[in-house]
Amino acid sequence: MTKGLPSTTRTEGTPAGFGVRRGEQSLSAVAAQRPAHCRRWWTYQRERFPLLAHGPLIAAFSLSAVSYSFLLRGESGSPSPRVFLAAFITSFLFFLQLRIADEFKDFEEDSRFRPYRPVPRGLVTLWELGVIGALGACVQLGLALWVSPAMILLLLVVWAYLALMTREFFVRRWIKAHPFTYMWTHMLIIPLVDFYATAWDWLVVGSPAPPGLLWFLTVSFCNGVVLEIGRKIRAPSEEEEGVETYTVLWGQGNAVLAWLAALLLTAFCAWRAALAIQFAAPVVGLLAALLCLAVIAAWLFICQPVTRRARRLEYVSALWTLVMYLSLGVGALTAARLWAS
């Protein structure tokens, strides 16, 4: 799974032609099914890392991290476009690396239960994905050297945690048997990436991390939980063997309540974060409206747990993320500039 990001295309339903397990087709048959080079990568991104869905969310995530740190430091004007660009590119590559890490750690399970996914069915290979992840790391390192070598130490910290996640912290069997622990340990990567994104503001100019930053990082963690639960609430007809959704683990009612509780906790942390930059009223107003929308979507799903209503929870989670980050970051920065002028 890609932590903190929803997918607009569910790939858990088996497409026609991919109903057999890996190894049951000859190599020549698999090769014959492979589309042209560019087309197969386009197919991969559509199924596993849809750019049109993830791009705006990652942009809001990274730009707001820089803007929020900038506001906390009491600066006027706006951060450098170079800083915004570096924060976005590195954040985008982190989330792409998260997806690639998932492909590696879930390969055995996907081959057994989800052979229709791109890697088990032979659309792309783990080696190819590994090369892309390594090239992304080179770009991240290059940006750090270009803007500020001081960023390299934090970059190594995020890479180290990502590596531990890929190895399931070397306790794969135990952590898979404890879903809640699995979730929160994997969600910690989100505030780590966010902390790195904020560092493009404060560390680059040689300042210490702003004191109020902790609330913003807590928002990132809680919002990662919102996205994670929201995308794993399924209608009964969507459940699959070997796929541990929260509706299977906790039951439909408890999963929806957990999602709503995560929204409320995120809203509280966002309010505290907004207080630190004197932008609480607009943030509270926007999130209150979205909470009402979330309650309606949750109630409709409980009343009739069908696929389209389950997906609404995922879409509400994405909308919540976009609005929250934009209001705390770019929106607040724009309002401050207008007020100053």
User: pLDDT of 267-298, one tens digit each?
Assistant: 999 999 999 999 999 999 999 999 999 999 99
For the chain, residues with pLDDT lower than 50 are 1, 3-4, 6-35
Question: Helix axis angle, 213-231 relative to 307-326, nearest 10°?
Answer: 170
> What pLDDT was estimated at residue 212?
87
Look over the chain and give the mean of its residue pLDDT values, rounded to a whole number: 88
Where do the structural domains in the chain lie, given as residue ranges?
27-340
pLDDT digits (tens, 9 = 90+) for 141-174: 999 999 889 999 999 999 999 999 999 999 998 9
Name the fold adopted by 27-340: Farnesyl Diphosphate Synthase (1.10.600)
pTM of the model: 0.86
Which tokens in the block code for residue 277?
A: 């930059």
User: Cα–Cα distance between 44 and 119 in angstroms, integer?
Assistant: 9
Start-end of H helices in the chain: 27-33, 37-48, 51-72, 81-105, 107-113, 126-147, 151-166, 172-176, 179-187, 189-202, 213-231, 246-249, 252-276, 280-303, 307-326, 332-340
Look-up of token digits 């997906």: 311
> What pLDDT was estimated at residue 214?
95
User: Cα–Cα distance between 247 and 244 in angstroms, integer?
Assistant: 8
User: Cα–Cα distance between 272 and 284 in angstroms, integer?
Assistant: 10
> What pLDDT was estimated at residue 5?
53
> What pLDDT was estimated at residue 186?
93
> What pLDDT was estimated at residue 1?
46
> What pLDDT was estimated at residue 341?
65
